[in-house]
Structure 1
Amino acid sequence: MTEDTVTLEGLRAEWRDKFMTAPPKLRSRDLMAREIAYREQVAREGGLSRTMEQRLAKLAERFAEDEAYQPSQAPRIKAGSCFVKDWRGERHEVWVKEEGFNYRGRDFASLSQVAFAITGTKWNGPAFFGQRKAGLGKAERP
């Protein structure tokens, strides 16, 4: 990341030196510094996945068509659904409520809180309960 003392014009010069193109027409020193940092990170670590780029392109199209468009934040699990998890030989049932979850008579705001109540360690709740691909291989850790 660039120093806080560099001016907007200094950042534009840095952009031209690093990327060999004209800098974006940003008027904010902070935004220009963030854009440079992002570009450097992409060069080092790689950019967004193809799937994410496609999802963002579709969102951009929707916003261009309708500025008031409000995408849903995540798939909603219907109230009354039940997650069942066998953990270390014990069966755990978690009921989905309109607002949150119920596990053994206690209410929780998130699946992660329920997973913590079951295991005593921090987990990504959807992964623990098999709702995310990333968690499928880790759900039964000792």
Structure 2
Amino acid sequence: MKPDPVLARLAAMKAAPVAELKKQWRELFSEEPPAFNRRYLESRLAYRIQELAYGGLKQETVRRLQQMGEQLDGGNITTRRVRADLKPIVGTRLIREWQGVEHTVTVTQDGFEWQGRPYQSLSAIARAITGSRWNGWIFFGLKDHRRAA
């Protein structure tokens, strides 16, 4: 049995330098690659290679996925663009001590809740707690401040 060239190409991506992945991106997407990490480039390239070789999703499936997305985010394009895997799971409690006072934030479907009030962002809550501008993800320990710089 002859080896599948698509699988060989996908396997070769793991050892390819990022410059090669970006070159493949230009070839496959006819545009400059985004400034995302290697894992993102690999996953999108792998999908595109398979899509071109084996065919993409049926239009009916694409429409259905779009409808499901609109049901989940209420048609809010901003919500749709925020990566769902970045936000903690609904119901998660974030606890932070600030100047001897413990603050608890609950992750909600629409954002966050602190002291019974809804907030769109953790940064707004961090500002309310500290009185100064903070990156909310760093303030609550969800992002390493050294890597954010």
Question: What TM-score comes out, normalization by structure 2 length?
Answer: 0.49
> Which of 116, 124, 127 in structure 1 is aligned with 2:135?
124
2:45 to 52, 57, 60: 60
Unaligned runs of 5+ in 1: 1-23, 25-30, 36-47, 137-142
User: 1:102, 1:108 within 8 Å by CA — same for their partners in 2?
Assistant: yes
Give the percent of matched residue pairs that are identical in Structure 1 and Structure 2.
30
Structure 1 segment 82-97 matched on structure 2, within 5 A? 82-97=93-108
Q: TM-score, structure 1 length as denominator?
A: 0.52
* Cα distance in 1, alignment partners of residues 106 and 39 from structure 2: 34
Stretch deviating more after TM superposition (71-80 or 127-136):
71-80
CA, structure 1 residues 64+123, in 2 after alignment: closer, same or farther (shift >3 Å)? farther
Partner SS state of residue 125, structure 2: helix
- Residues 1:73 and 2:58 are matched in the alignment: no
> Which structure features the higher share of helix residues?
2
Match for 2:44: what amino acid?
Answer: L
Q: In 2 relative to 1, CA 72–110 (structure 1 residues): closer, same or farther, beyond 3 Å?
A: closer
* Unaligned 5+ runs, structure 2: 1-25, 66-80
> Which residue type is aligned with residue 130 of structure 2?
T
Which of 1 and 2 has greater Rg?
Answer: 1
